[in-house]
Amino acid sequence: MPQMSPMYWLILMFYFIIMFILMITYMYFMMNMKPMFFTEKMNMKKIDWLW
């Protein structure tokens, strides 16, 4: 049983690190992509107005 504890903590820390990295990458991706999506929507609206 004592050997189980360090392994459990290691897995827990690894999981938290992975989640943190994923969150940061997701936020970065969203920040970069948001203006593109916004301009795309605006262009679509303009096309709708033209039609």
d(CA 39, CA 28): 18
The tally of domains found in the chain comes to 1
Domain with 25 in it = 1-51
Cα separation, 44 vs 34, in Å, equals: 15
The mean pLDDT value for 33-38 works out to 62
**Which amino acid belongs to residue 39?**
T
Rounded to whole angstroms, the Cα distance separating 27 from 34 reads: 10
- Compute the radius of gyration of the chain from its Cα atoms: 22
Average pLDDT over residues 8-20: 93
- pLDDT interval class at 31 (50, 70, 90): confident
**Taking the model in full, what pTM does it have?**
0.47
